[in-house]
Amino acid sequence: MASSEPAPSNPSETNRSPASHPQDEIPPAKHDPYAALRVANFRNYLTASLLSTVGVQVRTVAIGWELYERTGSASALGFVGLVQFVPVFFLTLAAGHAADRYNRKNLLMFSQVLMGLASLGLAVSSYFSAPIAFSYICLLLAGLGRAFSAPARWSLLPDLAPKHLLASSITWNTSGFQVASVVGPALGGLTIAQTGGATVAFGFDVVCSILVLILLLPVRVTSRTKSPERPSLRSFLAGYHFVTQSKLILATITLDLFAVFLGGATALLPIFAKDILHVGASGLGWLRAAPSLGAVVMALYLAHRPPMRKAGQALMWAVAGFGIATIVFGLSGNPALSFVMLFLTGACDNISVVVRATLIQILTPDSMRGRVSAVNAIFIGSSNELGGFESGMTAQFFGPIASVVGGGVGTLLVVLIVDMLWPEVRRLGELHRAGVSHKLDLEPAEPLLAGKSPAAESVSSSKGSQNDD
């Protein structure tokens, strides 16, 4: 979240000429995997993101364990995802518009306050054994925080380091997220096992939220192009229209959406840990950490390699591998094999995340990045919550094994369908060339109609990306 450049007098909103923007610096000839980590603002952002994710993962393990301990119901686990999805679905587009008009760092801090208050409420609820409904109210507040967090977080990332370090920043940001997702679940499971309940785990997330706010305070953001549009239904939907006009973005979002929705097994891990694998709370923490551990290994591998030359093929094979590993996990009764399969789902998913996130950042105009990130958050971020609800409901009626195996099979079918509908995804080569091609396509675009808003112009010009390979 940062830049080593001297900050302007008003770092968040000051306008500078394109030539003086640090993002226009000429990239070094030699690949430097650690270049982004040398940018001070980005290091602050990355550390804050890591702490935030650790806290959220601890909270996620704690709420799943507590609800299943108190209710013994798979549907109770499913409703955890549904409750958090509701505010994301209804508010994220508005939050994305706000991220294009207002200070993105302040929005991110506001969202962290909401999530910290949600965990404080869960801690109180756990300590006093309050009715289950109160826990769902707190989760609703957490979902409200997430609705504002995702657009602000992703749209802020390109403002923190030079443009030629964007792919490196995304890779390290993803790596940090996955490292935190390894530490968080393991720490959550250990905390529950040692304290005999979830109260301390929820309190830990509150402390993490406070530390995140402290880390974000000194972050200074480079100048950016603010959206001139006033809030309206048309401006709220501009990000959606942009995504639907860009085949590469639409295809990668669709692929990830349905793969996660159908193939996600994490919502049912409390059931597998307790009733199938018999590994207890600490085992649940390690199972929950396994996908993130796989993602960390893959992220570090990608960070130390030059950019992928055949990103499209890598994406398709990765999602297919995610589905196969999910099927094997569902059929496994061995804790070690189950851990390995979850590890592989994380490794495969990381490839998908890096490809999709890089494409979105490269192809999206800065003035629309918040709204496009909001659409991405709805279709991708919420697929985790809706996927958890879907898994909980199918497990309630058909059992957890059938739910997970069926989801893995569905993921493989999604890969085949996307390959048939959008063959350009398979032909996608180096990611930075997709961005160059997109910009070149914009130059001979049709004359803009009089009266079009800048956002509408961006949507129209995005048609050029439909031919990207």
The CATH number linked to 393 is 1.20.1250.20
Q: Is residue 23 part of a domain?
A: no
Q: Is residue 26 part of a domain?
A: no
Q: Is residue 272 part of a domain?
A: yes
Instruction: Quick: pLDDT tens for 78-114.
Output: 788 788 888 888 887 788 878 888 888 999 999 999 9
Q: Residue 134, Cβ neighbours under 10 Å: how many? A: 15
Residue 263 clears pLDDT 80, i.e. is over it:
no
Mention every residue, 6+ apart, whose C-beta is less than 8 A from residue 375.
92, 93, 96, 239, 240, 242, 243, 253
**What whole-number distance in Å separates Cα of residue 254 and Cα of residue 414?**
9
Q: Is residue 28 part of a domain?
A: no
What's the token pair of residue 353? 């995340």
464: confidence class by pLDDT, cuts 50, 70, 90? very low
Residue 277 clears pLDDT 50, i.e. is over it:
yes
Domain, as residue range, for 379: 33-216+233-467
Q: Residue 394, Cβ neighbours under 10 Å: how many? A: 20
**Between 399 and 464, whose confidence is greater?**
399
In the prediction, which pLDDT does 154 show?
Answer: 77
What is the dihedral angle through the alpha carbons of 96, 99, 101, 106, rounded to the nearest 10 degrees?
Answer: 150
Q: Is residue 221 part of a domain?
A: no
Q: Is residue 388 part of a domain?
A: yes
Q: Name which of 178-182, 191-195, 233-237, 398-402 the model is least confident about.
A: 233-237
Domain count, the chain: 1
Of the CA atoms within 13 Å of residue 451, those in its CB half-sphere come to: 0
pTM over the 0.85 mark:
no
Distance in angstroms between the alpha carbons of the first and the last residue of the chain: 31
Mention every residue, 6+ apart, whose C-beta is less than 8 A from residue 275.
400
Q: Is residue 160 part of a domain?
A: yes
Q: Is residue 224 part of a domain?
A: no
